[in-house]
Amino acid sequence: MFAATRIEALDKADFYDQLVQQAHGLLHGEHDRIANAANLAALAWHALEGINWCGFYFFDGRELVVGPFQGKPACVRIALGRGVCGTAAATRTSQLVADVNAFAGHIACDGASRSEIVVPLVDAQGTLLGVWDVDSPRLARFDEDDRRGMQALCAVFIESLQPRAAAA
Ligand code: SME
C-alpha cells in the first residue's frame, strides 16, 4: 500500500516535470501574455486527464477578468475575495478544493465541476497578475502533487513575461 502510493506520487511528479519542460519549450523566446497564456492553457488541457476547464483570470487592477482558457464559456469578472479564484487572488495562496459544493461562495461556471485548484500569479516584483484555475468533474481530483506541479507551471508562465528573467 505504502509502496504503491509512493510510486503513484513519483509518477505524478515525473508527469509535472515533463509538463513543465514542455511549457518551457513552448513559451521560450515569447513574452506576450495572451499568446503564452493561450498556449499554456492548450498544453495543460491536452495533458491533464479528468478536467473540464483550465485557464487564466487576469487582474485588471480592480477585479479578475477571464483570459485564455479551454472548456465551456466561463464567468467573465470575479471580484477579489469572491469564489475560489477571488480567494486565491486576495490571499495570494493556492486553493485546493476537494469538493466545490463545500466551499462557501464557490462560483459555478460549469455545473459539472466537482473539484478545483487555483494558483495565484504573482510576479517577482510582488504584483498580482491574476490566477490559474483548473476544474474537474471528479471529487478530489487534485492533491499536493498537483499543487506543486501547477505552481511550477505558473512559475514558467510568470518568468516568460519578463524578458530579462526568461533569458537568464
Ligand atoms: N469556480 C470559480 C469560477 C471560475 S470557473 O470555475 C471557470 C470560482 O469559484 O472562483
Positive or negative: CA dihedral 145, 151, 155, 156: positive
Comparing C-alpha atoms, which of 46, 42, 97, 47 is closest to residue 55? 42
Which DSSP state fits 138?
A: S
pLDDT confidence tier of residue 162, bands split at 50, 70 and 90: confident
Report the predicted TM-score, pTM, of the whole model to 2 decimal places: 0.92
Q: Order of strands across the sheet with 115-122?
A: 77-79, 63-71, 53-59, 128-136, 115-122, 95-97
Domain ranges of the chain: 12-160
DSSP helix/strand/coil, 65:
strand
Pocket of ligand 1 (CB under 6 A): 53, 74-75, 78, 83-86, 106-107, 109, 113, 116, 133, 135
85-142, pLDDT tens digit by residue? 999 999 999 999 999 999 999 999 889 999 999 999 999 999 999 999 999 999 999 9
Pocket test for ligand 1, best of 45, 57, 84 (most atoms within 8 A of CB): 84
- Superfamily of domain 12-160 in the CATH hierarchy: GAF domain (3.30.450.40)
